[in-house]
Amino acid sequence: MRIFNFSAGPAVLPEPVLRKAAAEMLDWHGSGMSVMEMSHRGKEFIGIADKAQADLRALLAIPNNYKVLFLQGGAIAENAIIPMNLLKAKSVADYVNTGEWSKKSIKEARKYCAVNVAASAEDKHFTYVPPQESWKLSKGAAYIHVCTNETIGGVEYQWTPDTGDVPLIADMSSHILSRAIDISHFGVIYGGAQKNVGPAGLTLVIVRDDLLDQALPITPSAFHWKEQAEADSMVNTPATYAIYIAGLVFEWLEDQGGKEDRSRMNVPFRLRDESLDEAFLKGAKERGMVQLKGHRAVGGMRASIYNAMPVEGVRTLVEYMGEFEKRHG
């Protein structure tokens, strides 16, 4: 039996993803091999990696002038990799300190450059995000670093900083893909996969093209964003199985309703066979759920889940949808 796993990471994965991976374990799509056994340069795996990247780009609406890199080392390695990749022309970087993960980023960056802590929430035990008006930015900083979700203290940015021409770098390890973000505000977004994306071993790095040319000469090839971008993240052997599972997670996310800009309040959906609409509504009514009919302009169904809707209502609807699908699917 599966349990409810509240781990902060490595964390729960979608059960359908695990089942699919299990079914494909010994023979991926007739290849006669597990994904683990494939060459990372073979056409099967390249197809898997390309699809994972395309799906991630669609889910997050990543603009064309950003590269998506599938690297290794986790967010902690990236804490060192970031200054190495961005300090060619500058020697100072600004950091906002909102808690334990910010502190780790700062500590690591200090090995490579002068760090200006532009704002800190330490005065109130890291229980808030210092408003941007209070940030004391340095002149000529190479970048401004934030941790947009502090996994240990439980503090999350509900807004996106506006840093003008200075690239904004964000550790999004523990909330990436949980909501829509406007990627164009960021220079670099990074995170370990093991929270919201997939298994440990994979690091996502989303980097704007113009920042690919700022690396220090000492930057190791495996951690050099430009070299990795030019090699489709294959300067070294990538974490192939973790990329495959992340790809399944992206597909699963799309199945959950797809678009990242989806409303948290109004959830329109359609039955595959619209001739069953009336039957669906009738069954819902019998279970005490009404007003699920979609707006007449678009048809289909719509569940509006404003603040006062008890979670039990949503559960009942989801359960009913599952039942209905089994009966008619």
Ligand X SMILES: *Cc1c(COP(=O)(O)O)cnc(C)c1O
Q: What amino acid positions are annotated as catalytic residues? A: 101, 171, 195
Q: Between residues 138 and 236, which has the closer beta carbon with respect to ligand X?
A: 236
- Greatest Cα pair distance, the chain, in angstroms, is 69
Out of 83, 167, 187, 192, which residue is the one contacting ligand X (CB under 6 A)? 192
Q: How far is the CB of 78 from ligand X (least distance, A)?
A: 7
Q: Between residues 38 and 56, which has the closer beta carbon with respect to ligand X?
A: 56
The answer to the question of residue 196 lying near ligand X (CB under 6 A) is: no
Stretch that binds ligand X, among 33-41, 89-97, 170-178, 293-301 (CB under 6 A): 170-178
The one-letter code for the residue type at 152 is I
Q: Between residues 9 and 268, which has the closer beta carbon with respect to ligand X?
A: 9
The answer to the question of residue 174 lying near ligand X (CB under 6 A) is: yes
Out of 72, 98, 173, 196, which residue is the one contacting ligand X (CB under 6 A)? 173
Closest CA to 125 of 148, 105, 154: 154
Stretch that binds ligand X, among 32-40, 134-142, 168-176, 310-318 (CB under 6 A): 168-176
- Rounded Cα distance between 103 and 98, Å, is 8
Q: How far is the CB of 226 from ligand X (least distance, A)?
A: 22
What strands, in cross-sheet order, belong to the sheet with 66-71?
A: 66-71, 203-208, 188-192, 168-171, 144-147, 92-97, 114-120
Q: Between residues 202 and 317, which has the closer beta carbon with respect to ligand X?
A: 202
Cβ contact 169:183 at 8 Å: no
| Residues within window 71-130 making contact with ligand X, judged by CB under 6 A | 74-76, 101
Q: How far is the CB of 257 from ligand X (least distance, A)?
A: 25
Closest CA to 248 of 11, 2, 8, 22: 22
- Rounded Cα distance between 142 and 89, Å, is 8
| Residues within window 39-78 making contact with ligand X, judged by CB under 6 A | 74-76
> If DSSP codes are grouped into helix, strand and coil, which group holds residue 187?
coil
Out of 55, 94, 108, 171, which residue is the one contacting ligand X (CB under 6 A)? 171
Cβ contact 267:76 at 8 Å: no
Q: How far is the CB of 159 from ligand X (least distance, A)?
A: 18
The answer to the question of residue 170 lying near ligand X (CB under 6 A) is: no
Q: Are strands 92-97 and 301-304 parallel, antiparallel or unpaired?
A: unpaired
- Check residue 61 and give left, alpha or beta (phi > 0: left; psi -120 to 50: alpha): left
Helix, strand, coil: what percent of the chain each, to 5? 35, 15, 50
Q: How far is the CB of 1 from ligand X (least distance, A)?
A: 27
- Rounded Cα distance between 33 and 283, Å, is 45
Stretch that binds ligand X, among 19-27, 62-70, 166-174, 243-251 (CB under 6 A): 166-174
Q: How far is the CB of 284 from ligand X (least distance, A)?
A: 39
The full length of the chain comes to: 329
| Residues within window 126-155 making contact with ligand X, judged by CB under 6 A | 147, 151
Q: Which residues bind ligand X (CB under 6 A)?
A: 9, 74-76, 101, 147, 151, 171, 173-174, 192
